Structure 1
Amino acid sequence: MRLVFTSLASHGHLYPLMPLAVAARAAGHHVVFATAEDFHPVLEKAGLEPAKAGLTIHEAFASQFSGDPGRRRREVPEEVLNETIGRVFGRVLPERFLADLGALFEQDRPDLVVYEVGNSGGAFAARKAGLPAMGHGFGRVSADGLMMEIHGALDDYAAELGITGGDRPSWGNPFVDICPPSVQSPEFLARARRLPLRPVGWSEPADLPAGVANRDRSRPLVYLTLGTTPMSQSHVLTAAITGLAALDADVLVATGPAVDVAALGEVPANVRLEAWVPQSELLPHVDLVVHHGGSGTTMGAFAAGAPQLVLPQGADQFTNAEAVVTAGVGERLLGDEVTAEAVREKARRLLADPAVADAVRGLAAEVAGMPSPEEVAAQLPDYA
C-alpha cells in the first residue's frame, strides 16, 4: 500500500506522526512523507522517503511581514498579530500545501493520505483528488483563543474550494487520536471517528546527557523546557531556573533555539543547561517536568508518568495546562504568576504530593493501554 504522510514543518507538528509513519514503513508499506525541505534530513535519518510540500512556518510568517519578521511580530498589536496567525494557518499554509500535494498526487497517486490536523491543506488536497484520508492529532483538541481565528480563515477557504461536510479538525475523516480519552475534549470525543494511538515520543537519535541514565534516583531530577518555538522567553526561563535551583534536586534545562544562553547569566551548580536534548528518551528518567504546555511535552509526560508544572505562553498551551490541572497530574502558573518563589513552591509540592503521584500513575497506565503504532499501522489498509 502506498501512503503519503504530510505535516507542517516544525518539531511539534511533524514529530507526533513519526512513530506511525515509521511503523507503517516497517510493516512493508511504501511511505512518502511530504513537508518542507528543512525537515527532509530528519525524515531520511528515520528511513522515510521525503517529498517537497509547503512552506516552513517561519517562511509563512515572513511572507506576511516586511523587513525583520521576528521584530515586526513583536511590535504589532495583539489583535493584528492574531489576525495574521489566523491567515497563516488558515490560508497561507493550506493554500501552498494544496498546490504542492495536488501535483504530488497527480504524479504518484497514493492509497491513503495521513495528514497532521494542523495541516488542513493535506485534507483539502486529498478531498480534491478524491483520495481516502485520515487526520492525525498531536494532542488535546482545542477550539479556544487563537484557534477561532484559524478556524474562521479555514472555513472561508474551504467554502471557496467547495469543500463542505465534517467538523474541524477532521473534516469528516477518521482521526488518529494520541490524547488519552480522560483528558481529551468531551465535545470532540462525542463527535469524532477516533482511531486511538498511544502517544509514543519521537526524537532525533542522540545520546542522553551524561549522568542521566545511571543517576541516583533518590535525588529528584527536574526537567525544564519551553519548547523549540522561537519566542522571547528568557525572563520565564530565568524565573523558573532560579526557583528550581532552590530545591534539593538536579535541574536539567533545554534552552531551545530562541534563547541567548549568555543572557541567563551564571547558574547554580545543580543546574545544567543544554541547547537540545532527546526528549522522548529523557522523560522516563525525570521526576518533574516544568514546561510551556506544548502538546508533545504534555503527552510525553503523561506517558512517562511524570508530574507537570505548566507555564503556558500561547496557542493551545493554555488548554493543555487546564487539562493537566483537571486530571490532577500537575499545576500551572499564568503570566505574572511566574515568579521564582511560585515555581519553587509549586515544584516542591508536586514532587512530594502522594495524590499527584497516584493520579500520574493512573494516567500513565491509561496511556500504556492504548494501541501501539504497530497495531494502528496494521489497521491502515482498512481505511484505504
Structure 2
Amino acid sequence: MATAAFLAFPGYGHIIPTLPVVAELTGRGDTVHYFALDYFRPAVEAAGAVFHSYGDLPLEGLDGDGDPLAQINAFLRLGRWVLEHRLEDVRALGPDYILYDILSAWGGHMATILGLPAVCSVPSMLVNRRMAYALPLRVAGVFAARLTHPRQLVRNRTLARSIRRAYGVDQPHDFRVFADPGPLNIVYSSRMFQPYAASLPEDRFVFVGPTATARPGFHFSFDWLDGRPLVYVSLGTVFNDRPDFFRACVEAFGDQDVQLVIAAGRPAESLGLGEIPPNVRVEAFVPQIELLRHASLFVTHGGTNSVYESLLCGVPMVVVPQSADQPWVARRVARLGAGRVLADRRFGARTLRRAAAAVMSRPSYAEAAARVGASLREAGGAARAADEIQRRMRRHAHERPLTVAAPRREDKDVH
C-alpha cells in the first residue's frame, strides 16, 4: 500500500471536503500524513490519517484587506514559510505521492522538489480568464491595484523569484497563486456546474461532486414549521457580521405568508433586530441540510458548500455574493436557472422581496436546482476520487523512474 502526504490549506471549506476522500484511501490501506492546523486534528484523525501540525503559520494578510496585490504577497510569504519549515518533515516521511489544496501551492512545489506525483484538491469551481472578464469591475480593481501600488507588484515579483531560485520550482507572482491546477485535479463539483468545462481535459480534471455534507449537530425545533413556504437565510460563518442584512430579511418577509429562519452565526439579541414577528426565527446555528429539505427558498451569500447543499436538496436560491469566488458561483447559479443574483449594493427589503417572489412563483427554478443537484450527486463522490487517485498512482509506479514537471503554463485559460 502507498503512503501519501496531504498539504492542506488551513480553511474549513478546504479541509472538510477532503476528509471523506482521506477516509476512503486509508480504508483501502493507504497511509495518509495530513498537515493542517491543530484545530483540525480530531477531524483528521477520525478520517484515519496521521495528523501533523503546520505549527505557527503566518496567516496575517491573507484576506488582503481589499488589496489584491497585498493578498498575493501574503500567500507567497505563507508558501515560502511552509517550504522552509516543513519540506524536510515531508521528505522524512518518504511519501509515494503528494496531495495538496489548490491554494497550497507549497504542496505542488514539494512534489516537484521530491520528484513525486501530485494530486491537487479543488474545493470550488476553477476560475479562468473568460469567467474573470465576465466581472469587469473585479478585473478593473486588479488593474487599478497594479497602477496604484507598483512597489507591491515589484515586491511580489521579487519574492516569487526568490522562491523559484531557492527551490527550483515554477512560482507565479500573479493570480495563479490562488488557482494553479496540478497534473491531476480532484474537483468537488460537477461538469454541469463548472463554467467552460469542455476546456478542461477529462484525464486531468476529475469532477467528483461534493463529498462532505455532514454538519455539526445543531438543534432546531422542526415542530415550529407549519406548512407555509419556508425561506431560509444564511451568510455562512465568515461573512455573517451583517445585522443590516438580517434586518432587511425580517422586514422583507415578516409580514408575508411565509416562515423565515435566519442562521445568523451569533445570538439574536446581539443583532439589534428589534421585535421579531411570529413567523420569524433567528438562531445562531441550525442543522442546515435538514432545514433545506423543508425550504422553498435559500437566501445565501453563495459560499460553495452552501450552494451545493441547496442544489442537492433541490432548493432554488437568491444569491447575494459577498467576496472571494462567490460572484462567480452566483453567476453560475443564475446561468443554470437555479436562482437569481442580487448585488449586495442593491440589497434591501424591497429588492429581496421582489427577487424572492420571482423565484418562488416559478417552478422552473426549483426544477433547475434539482437537475443540477442530480449532477452533483451522480458525480461519484469520495469513492470515485479515491479510485482516480489510486489508478493514477499505480500508473506512475509502473512508469518509474518518474520526473514530475511543475504545473503546465500552457493551460492559460485555467489560472
Q: With structure 1 as the length reference, what TM-score do the two structures score?
A: 0.82
CA distance in 2, matches of 1:100, 1:269: 55
Structure 1: which 5+ runs fail to align?
A: 66-72
SS of the residue corresponding to residue 268 of structure 1 reads coil
The equivalent of 1:68 in structure 2 is none
Query: What is the alpha-carbon distance in structure 2 between the residues aligned to residue 280 and residue 27 of structure 1?
Result: 29
Q: Higher mean Cα deviation, 33-42 or 174-183? A: 33-42
Partners of 1:259 and 1:84 lie apart in 2 by 35
Q: In 2 relative to 1, CA 365–53 (structure 1 residues): closer, same or farther, beyond 3 Å?
A: same
Taking the aligned partners of 1:222 and 1:116, their CA distance within structure 2 comes to: 34
Deviates more, 1:301-310 or 1:194-203: 194-203
| 1:149-160 superposed matches below 5 A | 156=160, 159-160=164-165
Q: Decide whether the 8 Å contact of 2:24 with 2:383 is kept in 1.
A: yes
| Counterpart for residue 124 of structure 1 | 109
Mapped partners of 1:15, 1:96: distance in 2: 24
Q: Once the two structures are superposed, what CA deviation does each residue of 1:160-181 show, in whole Å capped at 9, x if it has no partner?
A: 4432399873444201112221
Query: Residue type matched to 1:83 in 2?
Result: L
Counterpart Cα distance in 1 of 2:242 and 2:91? 44
Match of 2:194 among 166, 172, 184: 184
Say if 2:231 and 2:260, in contact at 8 Å, map to a contact too: yes
Per-residue Cα deviation, 1:102-121 (whole angstroms, up to 9, x for no partner) = 13312212222221212222
| Higher alpha-carbon deviation: 183-192 or 293-302 | 183-192
State which of 161, 168, 189 in structure 2 corresponds to 1:162. 168
- State the shift of 1:351 in Å: 2.0
> AA paired with 1:93?
L
Confirm or deny: 8 A CA contact 1:2 1:112 kept in the other structure. Answer: yes
Structure 2 gaps, min length 5:
133-137, 147-152, 394-415
The answer to whether the Cα contact below 8 Å between 1:244 and 1:347 also exists between their aligned partners in 2 is: no
Q: Give the match for residue 335 of structure 2.
A: 326
Correspondence for 2:396: none
For the residues of structure 2 that align with 1:130 and 1:283, how far apart are their CA atoms?
46
Partner of 2:387: 378
Percent same amino acid among aligned pairs?
Answer: 24
Higher mean Cα deviation, 176-185 or 278-287? 278-287
Q: Which amino acid aligns with 2:69?
A: E
Distance 1:203 1:32, change over 3 A: farther
Task: Name the structure 1 match of 2:69.
Answer: 83
**Equivalents in 2 of 1:190, 1:372: separation in Å?**
19
Corresponding residue number in structure 2 for 1:2: 3
Where 2:310 maps in the other structure, the secondary structure is helix
Helix, strand or coil at the partner of 1:195: strand
- Counterparts in 2 of 1:100-249, with a 5 A limit? 100-143=85-128, 144=132, 145=138, 156=160, 159-160=164-165, 161-164=167-170, 169-186=179-196, 189-190=199-200, 193-211=204-222, 218-229=227-238, 232-249=241-258
Q: 2:61–2:70: 8 Å Cα contact kept in structure 1?
A: no
SS at 2:211 equivalent: coil
Q: Report the Cα offset of residue 140 of structure 1.
A: 1.3
CA distance in 2, matches of 1:283, 1:26: 31
- Pick closer, same or farther for the CA change 1:310–1:258 going to 2, 3 Å: farther
CA distance in 1, matches of 2:116, 2:377: 33
Q: How many residues align?
A: 365
| Contact 2:164-2:170 at 8 Å conserved across structures | yes
- Find the aligned partners of 2:71 and 2:236 in 1 and give their Cα distance: 19
Is 1:365 equivalent to 2:374 in the alignment? yes
Q: Decide whether the 8 Å contact of 1:232 with 1:258 is kept in 2.
A: no
1:13 aligns with 2:11: no
Contact 2:122 2:185 in 1 (8 A): yes
Whether the 8 Å CA contact 1:230–1:257 is kept in 2: the answer is: no
Checking the alignment, whether the CA contact within 8 Å between 1:203 and 1:279 is kept in structure 2 is no
Q: Which amino acid aligns with 1:137?
A: V
Aligned-partner Cα distance in 1 for 2:99–2:44: 16
Q: What CA RMSD, in Å, does the superposition of the two structures yield over aligned residues?
A: 3.3
Q: How does 1:39-78 map to 2 (within 5 A)?
A: 39-53=40-54, 60-61=59-60, 73=65, 78=66
1:307 aligns with 2:316: yes
Cα distance, 1:50–1:232 mapped onto 2, change above 3 Å? same
2:302 aligned with 1:298, yes or no? no
Cα distance in 2, alignment partners of residues 173 and 259 from structure 1: 47
Q: Do the aligned partners of residues 103 and 196 (structure 1) sit closer, same or farther apart at CA in structure 2, a change above 3 Å counting?
A: same
Secondary structure at 2:272 match in 1: helix
Structure 1 equivalent of residue 78 of structure 2? 93
Note if 1:38 corresponds to 2:23. Answer: no
Structure 1 residues 23 and 277, CA gap change in structure 2 (3 angstroms) = farther
Which residue in 1 is equivalent to 2:24? 23
> In structure 2, what is the Cα distance between the partners aligned to 1:55 and 1:257?
28
Higher mean alpha-carbon deviation, 157-166 vs 186-195, is at 157-166
Query: How far apart are residue 286 of structure 1 and its match?
Result: 2.9
Which is greater in Rg? 2
Q: For residues 231 and 262 of structure 1, do their structure 2 counterparts lie closer, same or farther at Cα, with a shift above 3 Å needed?
A: closer
The farther-off stretch of 203-212 and 122-131 is 203-212
Equivalents in 2 of 1:7, 1:260: separation in Å?
37
Q: Compute the TM-score of the two structures, normalised by the length of structure 2.
A: 0.77
Are the structure 2 counterparts of residues 379 and 179 from structure 1 closer, same or farther at C-alpha, using a change threshold of 3 Å?
closer
Structure 1 residues 87 and 234 mapped into 2: Cα distance closer, same or farther (>3 Å)? farther
SS in 2 for 1:242: helix
CA contact (8 A) 1:198 1:371 kept: yes
- Mean Cα displacement is larger for which, 178-187 or 161-170? 161-170
Contact 2:319 2:340 in 1 (8 A): yes
Structure 1 position 63, deviation (Å): 9.2
Taking structure 1 as reference, are residues 204 and 4 closer, same or farther at Cα in structure 2, changes over 3 Å only? farther
Following TM superposition, by how much is the alpha carbon of 1:359 offset from its aligned partner in structure 2, in angstroms?
1.2
Partners in 1 of 2:95 and 2:247 — Cα distance? Answer: 48
The range that moved more, 336-345 or 153-162, is 153-162
